[in-house]
A and B are shown apart, each in its own frame.
Chain A
Amino acid sequence: MGATISRLADKPNLWPWLLLTPLALYLAVFFAVPLFDVAVMSFTEPSLSFANYERVLTGKLYQQVFMNTFMTAGLVTLSCLLVGYPLAYLMNHVTRRTAMLILLLVTMSFWTSFLVRTYAWMVLLGNNGPVVAFLAAIGVDPAPQLLFTRFSSTLAMVHILAPYMIMNIYTVMQKIDPVLIRSAESLGARGWSLFRHVYLPLTAPGIANGCVLVFVICIGFYVTPVLLGSPREQMVAGLIGTQIEEFLAFGMGSAMAIILLVITLAILAVYHRRFGLDKLWG
């Protein structure tokens, strides 16, 4: 008995790691190897050089697409925050039943495939859709172009990504000790000053989490901007798709993908240093 215990204590126990093997193998074969392949291609296609990176980093068009991507992601993140924060606040200040109902609606949209949601927006915003009909009915005729604009792709991405923001902020709000709010009231705080000096700072971790998640997912978003967005205002993921599908420029596509990956990792690294990545999923 004693011997068994000391043996267990001396040798590192490898069994738990064994449980990870299937997942590790899967990730290696279907994620790490292809990713490595992409990284290699970015330097070797069509010939071994940094030419792809040079073109991406110095080309006006590419710079513009990256700028456009960040601007769109920033706009989407901000919109998600403006939509999500009040909703999360509401969920924390209504009865439990109502809160659950709102949560159900939020998660229901979350569980619906974003392809489906994207097509739903196409129907809603299309030329024969209800929004155009409504605008016509109130006298806005001809209705402005809604579909295939930055507006439509941003709107759809906000819809798709808002649940990440809402859930993150909602969780943090739920954990706020109500005694802190009472305490602030007893010290003379109310309304806006209470919100600005106490409530908002206490929810800051949720805001940071939500914004990082939404931003990071958004800069790599492919389907929605491609299907709903303006072809003149492409985002990086769309451009990568075009490079590979239409021009068979694997090297250029790979270089852009790697740059996008590095940027994403950099954002997450900064976040990790400030807050800790383990907190990102609540």
Chain B
Amino acid sequence: MNSYLEIKNITKRFGDFTALHEVSLAVEKGEFVTFLGPSGSGKTTTLMIIAGFEKATSGDVLVQGQSLSGLAPYQRNIGIVFQNYALFPHKTAADNVYFPLQMRGYGRGEGLEKAAEMLDLVGLKGFGDRYPKELSGGQQQRVALARALVFEPSLLLLDEPLGALDKNLREQMQIEIKRIQRRLGVTTVFVTHDQSEAMSMSDRIVVFEQGRIQQAASPLDVYHRPKTRFVAGFVGESNLIPARITDAAAGKADSPVLGNCEVKANGAADGQDVTLLIRPEHIRLSREPVDGRKNARMQVDTIVNYGDNALVMGRVGDLNMRARVLGRDVIILEEGDECCISWLPESVFVIEQ
């Protein structure tokens, strides 16, 4: 059985520069997939190849088993929300949403009716007569979304659509987009460099780096079981500790700084060099070592207190470590103090690459 959207071995070269190396991915119908990565990682290029604005050097994109290669953007029936919304400034919100229907031969009456329904769905009832410049950023965003969905596209592509919004509005729009996507069941590819956005919205996150997919997995898998050091470092905060597996069966590793550690080897072999990942929120601070946990002494360099939580940064030997603890737990500490940090063996995840 084929997947709904299939990206098959896509390579994209710009002159000598290879932007995408053999990228492959399968997306199921109704799935919300996020392409996450730093700028220049290939996520937007992949999106543009799906949309038809870029041509892959080799490889193919299929929707429901049909190749899109020969089709121009206007033939693909894909809804796109661009970074700056790209609303037509000379058309009202309703006419913007009506536009794709107009291009598909709908009459004005029926088309505007559907446009009004869609504006209603995105929470803009009664805003149809406004021009884009009379709308706020968030409202323009909703119009763009309505316009990309009103013609029942086979795919919805979102190219960093929340980048221009302030933080509160961004969180609100994340929830809104998710709600609308679920309601319509449209298969969606969302591009962002914001990992918290990716975590909160996606069914699956695809992490891009240097033109390659590093990992494609559920948000929790990407967070707790990253496949590579890059993924661990890019998604969430992390402590990455070089180590060597000494006894895979017994779950033992040796780190130059921390000494012997208990780990779950996850298939790494004896003698293999690995990286240990400990998320900062799994580290506890104390004055004295705690029984049943792996302990280390840390020299505290910086404390950033956010109120509800605090980030404590310091050094264990020559290794930089960070701990995220409850705000109230940090008041006993001062920068320059030495304290004990500890974690449970199951908080240590072994990254092979």
Residues of A within 8 A of B83 (CB): 179
Establish whether residues B78 and A193, one from each chain, have CB atoms under 8 Å apart when the complex forms. Answer: no
Interface flag for A187 (CB, 8 Å) = yes
Partner of A202, one of B74, B90, B103: B90
Establish whether residues A188 and B82, one from each chain, have CB atoms under 8 Å apart when the complex forms. Answer: no
Interface flag for A4 (CB, 8 Å) = no
Interface flag for A198 (CB, 8 Å) = yes
| A2 to B91 alpha-carbon distance, docked (Å) | 51
CB within 8 Å for A197 and B84 given contacts A185-B72, A185-B73: no
Interface flag for A143 (CB, 8 Å) = no
CB within 8 Å for A182 and B53 given contacts A177-B86, A187-B147, A188-B77: yes
Establish whether residues A188 and B151, one from each chain, have CB atoms under 8 Å apart when the complex forms. Answer: yes
Task: Mark each residue of chain B from 95 to 124: 1 if its CB lies under 8 Å from any CB of chain A, else 0.
Answer: 000011011100000000000000000000
Residues of A within 8 A of B89 (CB): 202
| A187 to B83 alpha-carbon distance, docked (Å) | 16
Establish whether residues A182 and B84, one from each chain, have CB atoms under 8 Å apart when the complex forms. Answer: no
Establish whether residues B82 and A187, one from each chain, have CB atoms under 8 Å apart when the complex forms. Answer: no
Residues of A within 8 A of B104 (CB): 188
Instruction: List the A residue with the shortest CB-CB distance to B150.
Output: A187
Give min CB distance, A58 to chain B, whole Å: 43
Residues of A within 8 A of B100 (CB): 187-188
Establish whether residues B99 and A186, one from each chain, have CB atoms under 8 Å apart when the complex forms. Answer: no
Instruction: List the A residue with the shortest CB-CB distance to B157.
Output: A186
Give min CB distance, B7 to chain A, whole Å: 18
Residues of A within 8 A of B91 (CB): 201
Residues of B within 8 A of A193 (CB): 103
Establish whether residues B90 and A183, one from each chain, have CB atoms under 8 Å apart when the complex forms. Answer: no
Interface flag for A61 (CB, 8 Å) = no
Interface flag for B42 (CB, 8 Å) = no
Majority DSSP secondary structure for residues of A touching B: helix
The residues in B between 189 and 217 inclusive whose CB is less than 8 angstroms from any CB of A are none
Give min CB distance, B329 to chain A, whole Å: 48
Interface flag for B51 (CB, 8 Å) = yes
Partner of A186, one of B74, B84, B102: B74
Establish whether residues A190 and B151, one from each chain, have CB atoms under 8 Å apart when the complex forms. Answer: no
How big is chain B's contact interface, by range? 20 to 34
| A177 to B86 alpha-carbon distance, docked (Å) | 8
The residues in A between 192 and 211 inclusive whose CB is less than 8 angstroms from any CB of B are 193, 197-198, 201-202, 204
Give min CB distance, A200 to chain B, whole Å: 10
| A186 to B148 alpha-carbon distance, docked (Å) | 9
Partner of A187, one of B53, B72, B151: B151
| A201 to B91 alpha-carbon distance, docked (Å) | 9
Establish whether residues A186 and B73, one from each chain, have CB atoms under 8 Å apart when the complex forms. Answer: yes
| A250 to B326 alpha-carbon distance, docked (Å) | 92
Task: Mark each residue of chain B from 50 to 90: 1 if its CB lies under 8 Å from any CB of chain A, else 0.
Answer: 01010000000000000000001110111110111010111
Residues of B within 8 A of A185 (CB): 53, 72-74
| A188 to B148 alpha-carbon distance, docked (Å) | 11
Give min CB distance, A226 to chain B, whole Å: 41
| A197 to B100 alpha-carbon distance, docked (Å) | 11
Establish whether residues A182 and B86, one from each chain, have CB atoms under 8 Å apart when the complex forms. Answer: yes
Q: Which of A186, A189, A190 has most B Cβ within 10 Å?
A: A186
Establish whether residues B90 and A187, one from each chain, have CB atoms under 8 Å apart when the complex forms. Answer: no
Establish whether residues B99 and A189, one from each chain, have CB atoms under 8 Å apart when the complex forms. Answer: yes
Establish whether residues B103 and A186, one from each chain, have CB atoms under 8 Å apart when the complex forms. Answer: no
Give min CB distance, A227 to chain B, whole Å: 42
Interface flag for A180 (CB, 8 Å) = yes
Give min CB distance, B326 to chain A, whole Å: 45
CB within 8 Å for A188 and B80 given contacts A179-B86, A198-B88, A201-B90: no
| A186 to B88 alpha-carbon distance, docked (Å) | 13
Residues of A within 8 A of B78 (CB): 186
Residues of A within 8 A of B76 (CB): 186
Partner of A188, one of B84, B88, B90, B103: B103
CB within 8 Å for A204 and B90 given contacts A182-B73, A182-B82, A188-B74: yes
| A204 to B89 alpha-carbon distance, docked (Å) | 12
| A187 to B82 alpha-carbon distance, docked (Å) | 12
Establish whether residues A183 and B80, one from each chain, have CB atoms under 8 Å apart when the complex forms. Answer: yes
Give min CB distance, A274 to chain B, whole Å: 14
Establish whether residues A186 and B51, one from each chain, have CB atoms under 8 Å apart when the complex forms. Answer: yes
| CB-CB nearest 3 A-B residue pairs | A183-B86, A188-B103, A187-B100
Having A188-B100, A190-B74, A197-B103, one finds 17 other A-B pairs with CB under 8 Å, namely A179-B82, A179-B83, A179-B86, A180-B88, A182-B73, A183-B86, A184-B99, A185-B74, A186-B80, A187-B79, A187-B99, A187-B100, A187-B103, A188-B74, A188-B103, A201-B90, A202-B89
5 contacts across the A-B interface (CB closer than 8 A): A180-B86, A182-B82, A186-B76, A189-B99, A204-B90
